[in-house]
Amino acid sequence: MTTIRLPESEALKRAAVKPRRFGAWYVAEHRLRVMRSYVSTVLVGAVGTPLLYLFAMGVGLGALVSANLGPHAVDGVSYLQFVAPALLCSAAVTVASEELTYPIMLGFKWNPTFIGISSSPITPGQIIDGMVIAVTVRLVATSAIYWAFMLLFGAAPAGTAVLSVLIATLVGLAFGIPVMAYVATIQQDTGQIAMLMRFVLLPLTLFSGTFFPLTAMPIYLQWIGWLSPIWHGTQLARIVSYGAQVPAWLIVVHVLFLLVLIVPFWMLSRHIAKRRLSS
């Protein structure tokens, strides 16, 4: 029998310096590698979505609006310019909900890779962080492509429009992270995720001042917009994209609202993951 000399416990205490520091990045690396296996879907979505929506809504519907109400009919700009930042934010939310629903359920339960990862030096919190990093990468990439199409369509006249990439990424996270926290608590999927898509994501998209200003809706529906990260984000994206006029206090509210959905729910997700993986 070979004799194994135990390292001093002191030396061992430094054995996980890299995983402790970079663990979340390793998880993101893993996740991005998985995304590579459906990279064609990601790319088709990233290119096809802006192309279709900007054409249909901006150019198609936009022509109708302009013909009836003039070229500066909505918020002082063309319908295409009005609707483009909102479409960008909605697209980001769709991407985030793709990455932070089923893949989370998969990792905890259906193909429990999270259980596998948690027997390595990686902590449950780092798994959550890694998922967030990976979805952020995908959000930045898809939003940048979207923004490029907006430029191509002449839908983002202001020089600051590039900031809408950042804003859309935040919107995606502001929707996706609370959803992730919820999905992390699901033990048995009996259609909750599908319901969430249909009865939360869809109404939020439709009633968030996406296709028409929030103020154009009856007052009893406007609260949906106020609760929707899509509306708050879209308003910010409109400011940078064509210089929409929004009072300073409201800008602060928009930013705070997004952050409130991101930070506490991110922490909550870490907590839920820890409870679920280390009980």
Q: Which residues bind other proteins (CB under 8 A)?
A: 1-7, 9, 12-20, 22-23, 26-27, 29-30, 33-34, 37, 111-113, 115-123, 277-279
Phi and psi, residue 42, nearest 5°: -60, -45
CA dist 202 and 196 (Å) reads 9
| Integer angstrom CA distances of residue 192 from 91, 94, 104, 197, 259 | 21, 17, 13, 9, 25
For other proteins, the closer CB: 5 or 68:
5
Q: At closest approach, how far in Å is the CB of 274 from other proteins? A: 10
Q: Which of 8, 218 has the CB closer to other proteins?
A: 8
Given the complex with other proteins, which of 111 and 160 has the nearer CB atom? 111
Q: How far apart are CA 256 and CA 250, in angstroms?
A: 10
Least distance (Å) from other proteins to the CB of residue 275?
11
Query: Which residue number, 31 or 238, has a Cβ lying nearer to other proteins?
Result: 31
Q: How far is the CB of 106 from other proteins (least distance, A)?
A: 8
Sign of CA dihedral 75, 76, 82, 86: negative
Compare residues 224 and 273 and give the one whose CB is closer to other proteins. 273
Report, in Å, the least distance between residue 7 CB and other proteins. 8
Smallest gap from residue 186 Cβ to other proteins (A): 18
Contact (Cβ atoms closer than 8 angstroms) between residue 170 and residue 90: no
- Residue 17 has which token pair? 């310096």
Nearest CB to other proteins, comparing residues 106 and 166: 106
Dihedral angle sign, alpha carbons of residues 171, 177, 180, 185:
negative
Provide the minimum distance between the beta carbon of 103 and other proteins in the complex, in angstroms, as a whole number: 9
Q: Give the closest residue to 233 by CA, choosing from 268, 212, 211, 259.
A: 259
Q: Copy the structure tokens of residue 9.
A: 């416990």
120/54 Cα distance (integer angstroms)? 45
